[in-house]
Structure 1
Amino acid sequence: MLETFLEFEFLRNTFYTGLLIGLIAPLLGTFIVVRRLSLIADGLSHVTLSGIAFGLFLEKKIALLAISPYYAGIGFSIIGAMIIEYLRSIYQSFQEIAIPIILSVGVGLSVIFISLADGFNTDLYAYLFGSVAAVSRHDLYFILGITLFIVAAVFFFYKELFAVSFDEEYAKVAGIHAKYVHLLFILLTALTISASIRIVGVLLVSALMTLPVASSIRVAKSFKQAIFYSIIFGEISVIAGLISGYYFEIPPGGTIVVSLAIILGITLLFKSRKS
């Protein structure tokens, strides 16, 4: 089955990209869940959607200024991440309010730009729910670069990310510049979400960052184990979701999320029986 799936180049591009996404989304998702910022993925994904809609609007209405909707989405996501961090610094006692603010603005801009771009079309549908045919070789190389950057950043700043995630006050006392670690973390999250939309889609990308973690923390005995199991569960779900999505001719985002839900159900059942 897998050999047949990989027979065509566009499917190989999608498969390899899926493996990369299955690595970085749960990797960052583990830190997100520990920091109780699970909704940040939803907030940034909606900002990314507004960027994609803006890119589609430029393609259809202002050809001279046209840029790829995918790269427009990445740009909006990074800007949204920086705005979230800025709002968190302003609302010191109510930092979580930054996420619904940016989510609301992202939804509003998405509605405006989608309307200006003459509404929903096939391209937008693929961005919303993912597609097995949307990944080009250029996209694969670009996402590979993002993956290498994210993995390197987590590797070199693991101690700082770990300390800030579990005890920010201790991290500050230990001399860690929490502000810069926060900024790095949210930028990595924005890049991860932007990279993932090709496979999972804007509306479902948060599931790939949280559901594998929800499964892993049921069976892991340490934080590093949680990261490891999250990545394993993420990769299994991506592979199963891509193959089943291709053969059933449905968007892979939905099948990936259903696969993640099945894994979560198994871990919940396994843990309850064991206890």
Structure 2
Amino acid sequence: MSVVVTGATGHLGRLIVESLLRRGVPAAQIVAVGRDVSRLTDLAERGVEVRAADYTDPDSVRTALADAEKLMFVSGSEVGQRAAQHRNVITAARQAGVGLVVYTSIAHADTSDLLLAAEHRVTEEELHASGLPYVLLRNSWYLENYTGQLPGYLAHGIAGSAGDGRVSAATRADYAEAAAEVLTTDGHTGRVYELGGEAFTLTELAAEVSHQSGHDVRYTDLPVPAYTELLVSAGLPEAYAATLADADRGLAQGALYVPVDDLETLLGRRPTSLAEAIRAAR
């Protein structure tokens, strides 16, 4: 079995490679793909094959996917450019005769009205039309989206536009383990997994941060335009701020809630909880 993992220089792709190695997949059968291969030197030293590719460069993608039996297709991060970039990957996978494509999508991609979901939906449709065998991993939010902001929460509290909506966030490591399970076991072709951890509201997030830190941290709910302005004032580009605020708008309406069942089944255990993630981050 040869497994090509794209996005291996990113957080999730790297964790998937590590998960495959822990599961006993020989390093020589794993290909780690990224734009800056200097960041993959340690994997190369452990026997993983390293290939450079950029989703915007069809030739580099075609070379990176040569001889792949399975492709772990980690979605791109450049919102607004991903539909075309992902099309390059699907075309290269079809030309290479890849036996299985495992794609990281977003929760409810086929019905979601999130701005972030549009390019995922296009990619899913093109995967289906390609004739390639595939599995869709529709990941909800990362817990790291929240735990990475703990210093700011302690200093300023938590703001958003999520209302009382519940988000089924899980750690990148749990999503990576689920992906590795799909890549190394049978019976997943054609499946669509809606993946997420135990759901919580941002008010409950504030309460857990308060409990563990001993500080009084509150959640302030804002209208979407006001939250967008707040993010811009914090230094985010306006388009990115609008996308994040829209994600909170969707969160309030249930767009990022999924039952925990699929992730728990793939992991063979309960996913990492919010409390555990905050404890580890602290």
Tell me the TM-score normalized by structure 1.
Answer: 0.29
Which has the larger strand fraction?
A: 2
Tell me the TM-score normalized by structure 2.
Answer: 0.28
Which has the larger helix fraction?
A: 1
Task: With a CA cutoff of 8 Å and minimum separation of 6, indicate the structure with the bigger relative contact order.
Answer: 1
